[in-house]
Structure 1
Amino acid sequence: MTGRSTKLSLHNFTLYCDSLIYYPKHPLISPYITTVYNKTLIIESFTNTHYNISLQNRTPHLYCLMDRENQICINETLLKTYPYPPFDYLHYGPKNNVQAIDFTNSYMCSHSNEKISRTRLNNGFYDCLFKDDELNNITYSISKKYHYRCESEVPVQYVSIQQLGDGSVDCMDGSDELSTIIDWQLVQCDSETNYACRLLQNGEGSTAKLSLHLYCNSLWDMKYGLDEQNCSKWVCRSDDFQCKNTGQCINRKWVCDDEWDCANGFDELNCPIMNNKSRFILEDLCDDKTEHFCITKEFISDQIHHKPCVQYTRAGDHTIDCIGGRDERNTVSCFDGRMLGDRFRCSNGTCINHEQLCDGLADCTDGDDEKICYWNKLNNCSSFPCFDGRCAERCTTLTSKACSQSEQLLWCPKLKTVMSVVTSAYRAGKVISTSNYNEFCDSSTHQPHLNTIQDDVISKRIDRQFHGYCNRGFYLLTNQSRTARCFCAPPYFGDQCQFSSRRITSKVRINRLHRSDLPFTLFLLVQLICNDTTIIDHSSFVHVIDDNTKFHNYLLYSRTKLEICLYSVRYEAFYVKKTTVELLAVWQYSIMPFNFLPSYRLAKIFNFPNDVRMPLLCTANLCFSNGTCYLLNNNQSSYFCYCQRGWRGRHCELVDDECSDNIRCAPDSVCRGNAICLCKQGYSLPNCFIQNN
């Protein structure tokens, strides 16, 4: 745009635009930061400028919180002085007016005038320019919510719950990834309804508990494997394989897969040896039915009277018998608190990678990583030394590059393909998700199932057995199998009402005593709307003119992931007549930017304007397909298109297949989106076909 059009635009801009221009209307940078342009600065930029020159791109002059009544902004110049985008800092602390800051709840950064909320102290993120907000200043108390205290006593350290299980160690002791309570990588909010989401949305990371079905499953879900101890009397699912002596429960597909899953390796005993499988010749000296291959110091010192083997009953007993801890690979840990696995454990507790074995360099202080290759006297191989003095390629199965007795396979991990990726990570892909709790319980021999009721005494005993079975609901027993079936309260779902839905609570009171011209009774339809187009959920109530009741309604978010939604709640007031249903008023309230909350409460009083004929219609019809344009009662600068049957959308531009036929709703009824039927007087819901006299 150049020349005359630029000059005319600048003239209109000067006359009609506000001094501060909020553009775009909705936040782009974050859910709470809006960009603002200064009218005066824009006009000044045109001084001594030729109008035939093309307009330059502009950056915002201010970055502000959405709450305009308590304006908090930072200008572009100050923004450039930060080493990182300070939007979280802006959201939680500073004001333009320094005197307005509540010092009792603020922290002043060292060597600067920055002030941040105490909630930002020791949360794992640097907010002060010189990072002093993460120095655990004991002068300031720590806000515990949405903070997680690392397990070590010294130093005292906190991180944000957002950093739990993100794959990056933020706590010095690593407890933000694997703690003595839980493996935080299991607690990721990847679903709107699971335990992890409820835990993290409440900001209570310290209250996390490991699910029952993750105990004694051979996988370490707690630091040091605390969840895999004392499992000898554990009860397994009917389709699981139970390890002898240890009691652990594993997937039957894991048996004889050439990788230990039971702590004592019981699942790898008496397994068929594949004809094409190569293995170290010393392994043939062990009895595959009762022994595991194990190089001990006794064997190295006296190979005539000792075998390189250990009884499986001595494996997994937390006592190391084999050099490198091979017999305790699933029970002992390294300094990181994780399972030893395919690593080599030195006598001082440090762990090294299997590739560091027998390379001629002592990585363990006592040299055990070289002593295990007791035949290597020359230490002249940078790869792997063979019995005959040759050098071979470590872990290869190619005959041309291997040792004659396959000793290059010593301590080699198993290669497997996980998600189309070849990996040697120990037991990779063997993960049990926290989401299969129901599968675990339903497969157990202890699921609630009863025989025929014969007397009141048995009935009372059954009631005690099912006490609390349905959590936030109640149960009924089927006639034949006497199996419990749960009925859940609206905000909860699941076969045992164990999940909480994300929801909106609507609390409304209607004030219309001053409008005697309005109908005695109004029918109100309450809807949760996505992008002004799709009805996600709905509810309704009836209001009588002199009723001061506060009407409560629940609206539930969809449990399936949708496209990006701008949520709003719409209230439509109808006058139900004998011959038709007439829309009288519409109110609509945006849920943005708080749609991420697990529960949101909307409390409103609806007033009808004085001396105004209802409904409020637009001066110009902006709707397509013969739709009617209504002004919103709560915001007459906005409008709503009331579509004819068979149409939907912001401007009635989309075909509504659910309302296009006369099957879901009677022909003379009103059909809203999702086949919501509104019946004329004398007919019954839900489809308005049945006459109610």
Structure 2
Amino acid sequence: MNYIDMTIPDIDYRFRCISEKKYIPMSRVNTDTPMCIGREDVSELMVGAHPLSFHLSFTILCDGFIDHSRIDGLNYTDEIDCEEDWPCNNAYTRCDGKWNCRNAIDEANCPYNPCRPNGRPCILPFSHNFTCLPLSRINDGRIDCVGDYDEQDRCEPQLQSLLRKTYRCFNETQCIYMYEMCASNVQHCSSGDDQDLWCKKLNLSDVVDYSDIFQQSRDFDYHFYDYQLNFGLQKDSFAYFTLKNHLLYPFPIETITNEYNSIAATTVESVHSNPFDFKWHLESNSHGLSSICNRGISIYVNSFSEKSCLCPPAYFGYRCEYQNQLISLTLRFRTVELRAVFNFVIMLTDESTNIHSSEQLDYVSVRDCSKKFNFYLLYLTRPKNASRTYYLRIDTYNKEKMKYYVSMIYPIQYSFLPVHRLSLQVDVSVPKVTGKSKICPLKCLHGQCRHFSNSDQYFCQCSESYSGMLCTIKNSCDCSSDSICIGVVNNRSICVCPLDKFGPRCYLKRIACVSNLCSNNSRCIPRDEKNFEMEYFCLCSQGYMGSRCESLETKIEFHFSKTISIPQTIFIHFIYIPPKPNSPLRIPPSDPTQITMMSKLKFHESSTIVYYGGAFHLGFLEFHQQYYLALLQHNFTSAMNVSTTNIPEH
């Protein structure tokens, strides 16, 4: 059956990831940053290319192996939408000796399985005796059998290799090829226990006829166990139309039923091709496109006997396969005070002012004004309470003075979304002194009534160890004495640390600025936990620049003619003209660059001073919708002092 121009839902406006259950916008396909775990969205074969024509048989659909990774040139495989449309335990996967279902149910109730109908054969690691392992313990993350036979993901998938390492050494994390076990005198597994089993107790060089491996009932067999370790995770090149696993009609008298209600007739004979007569095929063996832990990290616990997944905050589940309900936040800040050190406490709250989760950020405008910051904020409960109203609240503190500055609030408008993506530019204004005519409607018992800078709402800023809408709830705060306690989430205090302290409770001392390496009376700002670019940052005094404030900036003093109405605000445009390239080729020069600064004048002032650290050739003033030439130089001179008078005729 040839498939051409196959219609797939959502493909017109979404790209479908193979390696995880996820759709991404078409605008993010073939960009520098992959959005899919398997990186298939940055593949050379782009969505929308000419459709591919190939033989796609229903016998290979949903069999646990990816045979075609791109159907019709689109990011759609033969293993997508299998949960309800096509079960893994079907007529073409049942009793074929291949591991198609995660719990191995497709191979449990088969004639060759000595542990049918509810188990799988297992060699115990220490005694090397056979036992029957229940299906409930298959793929549970615990190593129960020799070679980690009971775990489908015992070895990482090798997508570009024709052969797979399928045997994991006892009490180790490394995997080897089974044929290497006794091929030489080299001990591939460090313990030697595996070699004792396979090279002494069992001669792997013996020729065993497995031509009828799936037709006959078998007892516990070391050779058959070895065969399953080698080929149980590998697929035959072709699947033929067959009736071998269909029930006879009318039904035979003797049947076997297991705990999963899977019925197989004992009188059915299976016809199977020789399992050793297979052709290696790259796509047939690439059945694992995603890593074991998806978005998390695979770790080993309990003396390497149990596999577990360490999930990031945004994901949960045994394999980090589920995404938490959360707020995905992208923030960019703008502050009026360019050289102040601020601390932003970003909180997810509800209408009762309960804090669900929080993040913190140290911010200096001259360092971070062009940066965007990404955060995940989780709800207290899983799933979240859909009847509540949620808010994003940002409290600002001056970290040098350790004083409250201002607060902003943003409502979460579409709270029904499981993942709410929010992108904001936060303008931090100068705190306003509330007039005496404005009376706060809130009676804050243990706190102070405040006003959000971006809203008409009021709130109670509670004193330390208190919380609630009116600061009536007593909490136990364990922040250090020189820090500020914001509140408590899950019995953990939210602490704003001074510049020389860090840690969840501000008890750890920073040492980066003990020997101040910043020159010219500049301030040393220790590194924030979210900024790993440098150990410290020198916040230069006015008129200095450089990584340690060792260089002078250009000082420009602007005077205004008496005939000009002096503005309150002026814009200064600095223009740099790149030199012509020294090349025999006629390469056009780069475009001029422009940097704009703003300066404010007080009511009684007739001049202003500006410091600029960049290179420039032209300088223009802009005010009252007019432009005035202020500076012009053919060759840039750094660290100079300039005084210029603005004349209307210029």
TM-score by shorter chain over 0.5? no
Q: Using structure 1 for the length normalisation, give the TM-score.
A: 0.34
More helix by share: 1
Relative to its length, the structure with more strand (as a share) is 2
Query: Which of 1 and 2 has higher RCO (CA within 8 Å, sep 6+)?
Result: 2
